[in-house]
């Protein structure tokens, strides 16, 4: 049921599921990021023969745990969130939003809720661009956006990004797990990088102190973590120019 104000009128609310399967209803007006701590995705994910979408779970470097997704497009947005150094927490299917809209109760489960380092919150819905042309779909995504923005949070309907950027982020994601790459070598690589230097030049310098097959993973790990930056609108290569960030 929706939350009620002091006069007994129903207002927008969020239903959040806890890890113990309990549910609580929070008035949207007082909803904060802390309400999602220890929560689990609203929908229970099940695979079945013939399903139209590819669902699964992705190990996130941001959360240190698995985050679920229901389609390849959702996975793509999840990768970008995990790669974003300003994002400190990711919740998939964070709640069931209920609100009175045009005389009837509407319900909606957002795809993701992202918490930023500055304390900001962004609600993200993922939909293929072609689906947005459907007036019914557009209306279903419009009212949650109005509600979220009026609450002071950001709202995004995401349909994709530059395919080159996406390909680069997917490639770098292979180096997001700290136990996959020698962290001592990562530290040495960080010290060896000169600002505005091509990746191949830094690799050549490091190759004198470490195995060649270990050198590039260390630099790619630094690119994933955001300590190094390069132009991802161009395919990654030895000619990619590295910039020191932190």
Structural domain boundaries, residue 45: 13-158
Same domain, 227 and 142: no
- Tell me if 4 is assigned to some domain: no
The pTM for the full model equals 0.92
Chain segment 2-23, per-residue pLDDT in tens: 555 444 447 999 999 999 989 9
CA dist 190 and 192 (Å) reads: 5
CATH code, domain carrying 214: 1.10.10
Number of domains composing the chain: 2
pLDDT digits (tens, 9 = 90+) for 95-138: 999 999 988 999 999 999 999 999 999 999 999 999 999 999 99
What would you report as the CA-atom Rg of the chain, rounded to the nearest whole angstrom? 21
Residues sharing a CB contact under 8 Å with residue 62, sequence separation 6 or more, in sequence order: 81, 82, 87, 88, 89, 90
Same domain assignment for residues 87 and 138: yes
Round to whole Å and give the CA distance between 37 and 94: 10
Does the residue 210 lie in any domain?
yes
86 and 149 belong to one structural domain: yes
Answer whether 212's CB lies under 8 Å from 228's CB.
no
- Is residue 146 domain-shared with residue 37, that is, in the same domain? yes
CA separation (Å) from 198 to 21, 96, 203, 220?
51, 48, 9, 13
- Which pLDDT score, from 0 to 100, does residue 211 have? 84
Quick: pLDDT tens for 189-199.
999 999 999 99
How many CB atoms are located within 10 Å of the residue 241 CB?
14
Say how many C-beta atoms besides its own lie within 10 A of residue 178's C-beta: 13
Residue 49: is its pLDDT beyond 70? no
Letter string b/e over residues 50-88, b meaning 16 or more CB atoms within 10 A of that residue's CB? eeeeebbebebebbeeebbbbbebbbbbbbbbbbbeebe
Alpha-helical (H) ranges within the chain are 72-83, 135-150, 163-172, 183-192, 199-206, 212-225
Are 32 and 138 part of one and the same domain?
yes
- 156, 130, 76, 83 alpha-carbon torsion, rounded to 10°: -40
Sign of CA dihedral 99, 2, 55, 19: positive
Determine the number of helices (DSSP H) and then strands (DSSP E) in the chain. Answer: 6, 14
């Amino acid at each position: 049921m929706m939350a009620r104000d002091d006069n007994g009128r129903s207002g927008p609310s969020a239903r959040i599921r806890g890890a113990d399967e309990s549910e609580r209803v929070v008035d949207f007006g007082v909803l904060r990021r802390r309400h999602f701590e220890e929560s689990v995705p609203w929908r229970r994910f099940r695979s079945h023969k013939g399903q139209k979408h590819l669902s699964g779970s992705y190990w996130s470097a941001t959360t240190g745990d698995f985050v679920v997704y229901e389609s390849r497009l959702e996975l793509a947005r999840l990768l970008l969130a995990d790669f974003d150094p300003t994002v400190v927490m990711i919740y998939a299917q964070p709640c069931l939003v209920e609100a009175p809209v045009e005389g009837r109760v509407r319900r909606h489960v957002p795809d993701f809720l992202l918490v930023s380092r500055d304390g900001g919150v962004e609600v993200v819905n993922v939909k293929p661009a072609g689906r947005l042309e459907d007036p019914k779909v557009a209306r279903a995504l419009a009212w949650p956006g109005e509600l979220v923005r009026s609450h002071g949070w950001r709202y995004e309907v995401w349909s994709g990004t530059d395919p080159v950027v996406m390909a680069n982020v997917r490639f770098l994601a292979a180096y997001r797990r700290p136990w996959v790459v020698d962290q001592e070598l990562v530290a040495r690589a960080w010290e060896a990088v000169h600002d505005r230097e091509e990746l191949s030049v830094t690799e050549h310098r490091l190759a004198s102190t470490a195995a060649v097959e270990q050198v590039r993973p260390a630099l790619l790990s630094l690119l994933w973590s955001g300590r190094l930056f390069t132009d991802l609108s161009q395919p990654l290569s030895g000619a990619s120019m590295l910039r020191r960030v932190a």
